[in-house]
Amino acid sequence: MDRITTIQVSAATRDRLFRLKFRKTYDEYLVELMDLVERLEAEGGRRPRSPGKVLAMSNAMREWTKRNVKWRNGRISEVDLDGR
Amino acid sequence: MADEKFLVLGELNRILKKKPVLVGGGAAELYSAGHFVTGDMDIYAERVELLPALENLGFRREGMYFVRGKIFIHVVGSNYEKRVDDILLKGTGSRVRVISLEDLIIDRLCSCKWWKHKADCEQALYLLNTFQDGLDRGYLEDRADEEEVRDTIDGLRAQIGPASRAERRK
Q: Is there a single domain that holds both residue B94 and residue B106?
A: no
Tell me the longest C-alpha to C-alpha distance in chain A: 52
Any idea what the CATH number is for the domain that residue B23 is in?
3.30.460.40
Q: Is there a single domain that holds both residue B9 and residue B87?
A: yes
Q: Is there a single domain that holds both residue B84 and residue B136?
A: no
Can you point out the beta strands (E) in B1-158?
Answer: 21-23, 40-44, 60-62, 65-68, 71-77, 84-89, 95-99
Q: Is there a single domain that holds both residue B125 and residue B44?
A: no
B30 to chain A: nearest residue by CA?
A79
pTM, whole model, 2 decimals?
A: 0.77
B48 touches chain A (CB under 8 A): no
B38 touches chain A (CB under 8 A): no
Q: Is there a single domain that holds both residue B59 and residue B95?
A: yes
Number of domains in chain B: 2
Distance between CA atoms of residues B116 and B108, nearest Å: 10
What are B63-80's pLDDT values in tens digits? 888 999 889 999 999 999
Q: Is there a single domain that holds both residue B88 and residue B107?
A: no
**Considering only CB atoms, which chain A residues are within 8 Å of B129?**
55, 58, 62
Provide the residue range defining the domain that includes B112.
102-169
B103 touches chain A (CB under 8 A): no
**Considering only CB atoms, which chain A residues are within 8 Å of B128?**
none
Buried b (16+ CB within 10 A) or exposed e, A21-38: eeeeeeeeeeeeeeeeee
Of the three residues B41, B66, B99, the one that is the final residue of a domain is B99
Beta pairing, strands B21-23 & B40-44 = antiparallel
Q: Is there a single domain that holds both residue B121 and residue B47?
A: no
Dihedral sign of CA atoms B73, B77, B79, B83 in order: negative
Interface contact flag, A61 B114, Cβ < 8 Å: no
> In whole angstroms, what separates CA B76 from the centre of its chain?
13
Interface contact flag, A49 B122, Cβ < 8 Å: yes
Q: Is there a single domain that holds both residue B56 and residue B121?
A: no
What are B100-141's pLDDT values in tens digits? 999 999 999 999 888 888 888 889 999 999 998 899 999 999
Q: What amino acid occupies position B67? A: V
Q: Is there a single domain that holds both residue B34 and residue B94?
A: yes
**Considering only CB atoms, which chain A residues are within 8 Å of B125?**
51, 54-55
Q: Is there a single domain that holds both residue B11 and residue B93?
A: yes
* Cβ atoms within 10 Å of B27's Cβ, excluding its own: 29
B7 to chain A: nearest residue by CA?
A81
What are B4-37's pLDDT values in tens digits? 899 999 999 999 999 999 999 999 999 999 888 8
Of the three residues B99, B123, B147, the one that is the final residue of a domain is B99
A23 to chain B: nearest residue by CA?
B62
Distance between CA atoms of residues A71 and B114, nearest Å: 32
pLDDT category of residue B145 using cuts at 50, 70 and 90: very high
Residue A14 has pLDDT above 80, yes or no: no
Q: Is there a single domain that holds both residue B83 and residue B106?
A: no
In 3D space, the residue among B117, B139, B162 whose CA is nearest the CA of residue B152 turns out to be B117
What are B29-63's pLDDT values in tens digits? 999 998 888 878 999 999 999 999 999 999 999 88
ipTM of the complex: 0.85
